[in-house]
A = this chain, B = another copy of it.
Amino acid sequence: MAKLKPETRDKLKTVSTATIATALFKRGFRNQMIQGVQPLDPTKPAMVGEAFTLRYIPAREDLNPITVFQDRSHPQRKAIEDCPPGCVFVIDSRKDARAASAGSILVTRLMKRGVAGIVTDGGFRDAPEIAKLAIPAYHKRPSAPTNITLHQAIDVNVPIGCGDAPVFPGDVVVGDGEGVVVIPAHLADEIAAEGFEMTAFEDFVAEEVMRGRSILGLYPATDPQTNVDFAAWRKKHNR
Instruction: Tell me the A residues contacting B by CB distance below 8 Å.
Output: 16-18, 20-22, 25-33, 35-36, 38, 42, 57-62, 66, 69-70, 72, 77, 80-81, 94, 96, 98, 100, 103-106, 108-109, 112, 125-129, 141-146, 148-150, 152, 154-155, 158-161, 164-168, 176-179, 181, 184, 202, 205-206, 209-210, 212, 214-217, 219-220, 222
- Are A30 and B149 closer than 8 Å at their CB atoms? yes
Q: How many copies of this chain?
A: 6
Known: A62-B184, A94-B161, A149-B25. A105 touches B30 (CB 8 A): no
Known: A144-B181, A181-B144. A60 touches B31 (CB 8 A): yes
- Bound complex: CA of A149 vs CA of B167, how far in Å? 17
- Are B126 and A166 closer than 8 Å at their CB atoms? no
User: Shortest beta-carbon distance, A164 to chain B, in Å?
Assistant: 6
Known: A38-B141, A217-B72. A178 touches B127 (CB 8 A): yes
- Are B166 and A59 closer than 8 Å at their CB atoms? yes
- Are A29 and B62 closer than 8 Å at their CB atoms? yes
Q: In the assembled complex, which residues on chain B have CB atoms less than 8 Å from the CB atom of A146?
A: 18, 21-22, 25
User: Shortest beta-carbon distance, A178 to chain B, in Å?
Assistant: 4
Q: In the assembled complex, which residues on chain B have CB atoms less than 8 Å from the CB atom of A81?
A: 214-216
User: Shortest beta-carbon distance, A21 to chain B, in Å?
Assistant: 4
Tell which of B17, B25, B128 touches A176, judged by Cβ atoms closer than 8 Å: B128
- Are B127 and A177 closer than 8 Å at their CB atoms? yes
